[in-house]
Structure 1
Amino acid sequence: MTAGLRYEAATERRTWMLSTLRSVGFLSVVDLARQLGVSQMTIRRDLHALENGGHVRLVHGGASLTARALRGAGFTEDDDAEGREGVAAFAVELAGETDTIAIDAGATGHAVARALPDDFGGCVVSHSLPVLQYLSEGRTERVVALGGELLPGRHAFVGPTTEAATAQLRVRTFFLSPCGIDARGLYAHSSAEASVERHLMDIADDVVVVVTREVFRASAPTRIATLDRMTKLITDQRPPAELACALRRVGVVPHVVGG
């Protein structure tokens, strides 16, 4: 969407909000007002209406999508929302109380950020705008933002500036959420984001891939890395047979949450 494009009809605005939330996990009031060309008061009215309908959950400064919304009218029936919360909750148990961790962009990355316990005293590194916005409200001791060019749709920072920001960093665990995965590797929708994800993998002691079943069916054009670059795989469904065989060859045992 072009910045500043005005959406006069409330129904059209709210439909766009729900569609965008499904991709990015979180939207701020300020960003919505700018993108839709309306006042912040109008955006808040829209969000309250969506909250009353059970579609969004209001948090400080913006809103995230509820599980019910993903199964509502206009969206594909699936259990990805519940699965996403489950794999995220399992994943954060792998982080120590004072670890430095990196969190990927996308809805699953945002779920990982939300799943961090209240007593987490470590540091979070991320190129995800929704993750950074969520954690900026004092939800963790320290946040390192990897700035750069903002990638539309994914709401993630990418490019040389983002990659250069990782050069002097080290993280214990990178929670990676690729857009696709098969026997040949892990995939992203763009070469720019794949490059940032590779840089984050390079500075991590462990690379924990956190995905839901939708990723096994998805197609994405840019390979991030081969399967042997991951340390662990956390998912809500057993991988397809070909992928499972490839994982065994590289010594990765999937952790199936709820399976």
Structure 2
Amino acid sequence: MLTSQRKQLLLKILDEEGQIVARTLSESLGLSEDTIRRDLRELAKEGLLRRVHGGALPASPAQANFAVRTTISTDAKPAIARAAAALIEPGQVVFIDGGTTAVQLARALPRELRATVVTHSPSIAVELVEHPNVEVIMIGGRLFKHSIVACGAQALEAIGQIRTDVFFMGVCSLDPEAGITTGDYDEACVKRAISAAARSTVVLASPEKLGTAAPFAIAPLATINRIVVSAQTDEALLAPYRAMGIAVTLG
């Protein structure tokens, strides 16, 4: 089998099964595990998949730029946002992450809600201007344009001074084995710091992010309390999270 044919076959298997386990696949195809791993490395360099220990996962489409991401899961994201908004209690101090699903969450907040929202996203702050009873605290720093959020030392210092009730985390990728990952190292550090300073962390996971992986780890799944996903999500995808004791809210 030619190299190009092997790669096309690997991508087809990844699309159909959602993951590749190098050892298992080498046995079923009668190819050496080294050959499979080499092909996976080359495909990862092309951005066609994401290498993980023992195999590969689909590359997350959430690594596209902000404008492109607004066109993905346009029905699921508002539904996820409404379900997440219902989790906020009056008087709470909540941190809302940046990203397209988080913007939908800000839009879904009831106009009469009394709460404090901390955010490092200008997009979130602007959405809350017309909420008269929501106090908005902005975190500043270097603007990371991919997600339109503040990053860097200044942001981390400010985040460390605030204890929130809930952190609504936007993610690039979520997988039971790879954990919570994103495409930028600094953004991963900031998300990790926000989560550490929150009493609970809720992950907003639109369908294209499940079962995918990105280069930089944010935190182990054990550190999150809940995920909010589309009501149309296959239960088989959710079962591993439930087994870990993570609450699942359907939107």
- TM-score normalised according to structure 2 size: 0.68
Does residue 191 (structure 1) correspond to residue 185 (structure 2)? The answer is yes
The alpha-carbon deviation at position 139 of structure 1 amounts to 4.8
Residue in 1 that maps onto 2:121 = 128
Residue in 2 that maps onto 1:227 = 221
- Write the distance in 1 (CA, Å) between the matches of 2:125 and 2:156: 17
- Write the distance in 2 (CA, Å) between the matches of 1:246 and 1:192: 28
Instruction: Check conservation: 1:22, 1:107, Cα contact below 8 A.
Output: no
- Write the distance in 2 (CA, Å) between the matches of 1:200 and 1:191: 15
- Write the distance in 2 (CA, Å) between the matches of 1:239 and 1:181: 15
Residue in 1 that maps onto 2:233 = 238
Query: Cα 1:134–1:225, aligned 2, differ >3 Å: closer, same or farther?
Result: same
The letter for the 2-side match of 1:99 is Q
Equivalent of 2:67 in 10, 17, 21 = 21
Equivalent of 1:95 in 64, 84, 88 = 88
Equivalent of 1:214 in 190, 208, 214 = 208
Residue in 1 that maps onto 2:17 = none
Residue in 1 that maps onto 2:74 = 81
- Write the distance in 1 (CA, Å) between the matches of 2:164 and 2:147: 23
Instruction: Check conservation: 1:216, 1:240, Cα contact below 8 A.
Output: no
Query: Cα 1:132–1:175, aligned 2, differ >3 Å: closer, same or farther?
Result: same
Instruction: Check conservation: 2:97, 2:167, Cα contact below 8 A.
Output: yes
Equivalent of 1:204 in 198, 204, 211 = 198
- Write the distance in 2 (CA, Å) between the matches of 1:216 and 1:101: 24
- Write the distance in 2 (CA, Å) between the matches of 1:227 and 1:190: 18
Query: Cα 1:139–1:195, aligned 2, differ >3 Å: closer, same or farther?
Result: farther
* Structure of larger gyration radius: 2
Query: Cα 1:166–1:82, aligned 2, differ >3 Å: closer, same or farther?
Result: same
Flag the structure with more relative contact order, 1 or 2, with Cα contacts below 8 A and sequence separation at least 6: 2
Q: Secondary structure at the match of 2:126?
A: helix
The letter for the 1-side match of 2:91 is T
The alpha-carbon deviation at position 20 of structure 1 amounts to 4.7
Does residue 153 (structure 1) correspond to residue 146 (structure 2)? The answer is yes
Instruction: Check conservation: 1:20, 1:153, Cα contact below 8 A.
Output: yes
Does residue 250 (structure 1) correspond to residue 239 (structure 2)? The answer is no
* Number of residue equivalences: 185
Query: Cα 1:127–1:244, aligned 2, differ >3 Å: closer, same or farther?
Result: same
Unpaired segments ≥5 residues, structure 1: 1-18, 26-69, 71-77
- Write the distance in 1 (CA, Å) between the matches of 2:76 and 2:102: 13
Query: Cα 1:255–1:20, aligned 2, differ >3 Å: closer, same or farther?
Result: closer
Instruction: Check conservation: 1:124, 1:144, Cα contact below 8 A.
Output: yes
- Write the distance in 2 (CA, Å) between the matches of 1:140 and 1:167: 25
Could you say what the CA RMSD is over the residues aligned between the two structures, in angstroms? 2.0
Residue in 2 that maps onto 1:118 = 111
The alpha-carbon deviation at position 138 of structure 1 amounts to 4.5
Q: Secondary structure at the match of 2:78?
A: helix
- Write the distance in 2 (CA, Å) between the matches of 1:172 and 1:250: 22
Query: Cα 1:120–1:153, aligned 2, differ >3 Å: closer, same or farther?
Result: same
The letter for the 2-side match of 1:197 is K
- Write the distance in 1 (CA, Å) between the matches of 2:234 and 2:225: 16
Of all paired residues, the percent bearing the same amino acid is 26
Task: Please give the per-residue CA displacement for 1:163-187, whole angstroms capped at 9, x wherever unaligned.
Answer: 1001221111111111100013111
Query: Cα 1:251–1:138, aligned 2, differ >3 Å: closer, same or farther?
Result: closer
Unpaired segments ≥5 residues, structure 2: 1-64
Q: Secondary structure at the match of 1:21?
A: helix
